[in-house]
Amino acid sequence: MNYYNVDQDDAITQPGGKVARYARGRDYHRVMKRRMRRLVLQLTVELGDEFAARWYVDDGPMLDRAAAARAGLGWFGKNGNILTPTLGSWVLLGQIITDLPLVPDQPLVKTCGQCSRCIPSCPTDAIVAPYVVDNRRCISFLTIEHDGVIPIELRSAMGNLVFGCDICQEICPVNRKALATEDANFGRRDLSSLDLIELLEMTEQEFRQRFAGTPIMRAGWLGMRRNACIALGNSGDRAAAPALRSALHDPAAMVRQHAAWALGMVGGEAAREALNAAMATEADLRARDEIQLALGKEGSERI
């Protein structure tokens, strides 16, 4: 399913937190499964119910990308994504597994050839070799699936990305000719760039109300506030210091850790005062280490 939504604001440097294109709308798992179910029901009406079928989106017994490549839908790009001839990699994959006799399509012979633009474009060097992605460094994994502390050495490279990453897709020449989707389930402008301070200060209830039914729920309330801290730190905006100072007293140690790092990146007297005050009361050892690093006690010169 095509999810490529064209947003003119993408050409402008956004002060807020950027969200990957596929997540700017409704949860695609639900959308695709409903459509695949309708397709199976339609086939049942036309062919009779003498066949079995199951449909899956990211939760089936086979790897979606491998099945798509074998079915001739596209070929593996060097960033690990499936590239299709008309939609590039701006596609969401699903599977219908059935015992219905079908004539198989042949895999495509097309490849990326000598092109490797996606590899150096990755800011965290997650594409360690052609067709090999180290998910521990991938911004999509870090901002969505990873539920812990994000390594300090990767934070600066994450920029203002708070949910997913499209960089290796945006640089891909195949994607330049991709057709934009007309599907209303994708392309909500209010999800393309999130207010970072608002995101950081949201209660869990507010988070659920704002993002219910969207893929952003997958990262969770704590994960998105952690991501907001990193983006605020990378912004260097000292106006974020009051919100980050409040986050230094968050009940979650993970949020406090990333808020300390962000204040160290923002710098200024207000940030220093906030960090010194937090050091006097902080009991979590990892959070204390982050505060010390931000204050420069371990050789950092951010403040």
Containing 244, the helix (H) or strand (E) segment is: helix 241-247
Q: Predicted confidence band at 153 (pLDDT cuts at 50, 70, 90)?
A: very high
Question: Helix 220-235 and helix 253-266: axis angle, to 10°?
Answer: 10
Q: How many helices (H) and strands (E) does the chain have?
A: 13, 9
In the prediction, which pLDDT does 10 show?
Answer: 56
Q: Which of 9, 49, 58, 125 is catalytic?
A: 58
Enumerate the domain spans of the chain. 1-194, 196-303
CATH class of 196-303: mainly alpha
Taking residue 20's Cβ as centre, other Cβ atoms within 10 Å add up to 23
Quote the pTM value: 0.92
User: Residue 221's closest CA among 261, 162, 278, 165?
Assistant: 162
In the prediction, which pLDDT does 11 show?
Answer: 46
pLDDT at position 26 over 50: yes
- Rounded to the nearest angstrom, the gap between the alpha carbon of residue 77 and the centroid of all alpha carbons in its chain is 19
In the prediction, which pLDDT does 47 show?
Answer: 87
Question: Helix 269-279 and helix 285-295: axis angle, to 10°?
Answer: 150
In the prediction, which pLDDT does 12 show?
Answer: 45
What is the C-alpha separation between 215 and 24, in angstroms, rounded? 8
pLDDT at position 13 over 50: no
pLDDT tens digit string along 105-129?
999 999 999 999 999 999 999 999 9
User: Residue 98's closest CA among 52, 56, 62, 66?
Assistant: 52
Q: What is the average pLDDT score of the chain?
A: 92
How large is the average pLDDT for residues 84-94? 95
In the prediction, which pLDDT does 298 show?
Answer: 38
Backbone φ, ψ for residue 152 (5° rounding): -55, -40
pLDDT tens digit string along 166-188?
999 999 999 998 989 989 998 88
Annotated active-site residue 58? The verdict is yes
Which long-range contacts link 54-59 to residues 24+ away (Cβ below 8 Å)?
54/96, 54/97, 54/98, 55/94, 55/95, 55/96, 55/97, 56/94, 56/95, 56/96, 56/97, 57/28, 57/29, 57/32, 57/33, 57/92, 57/93, 57/94, 57/95, 58/29, 59/29
In the prediction, which pLDDT does 177 show?
Answer: 87
How large is the average pLDDT for residues 42-57? 89
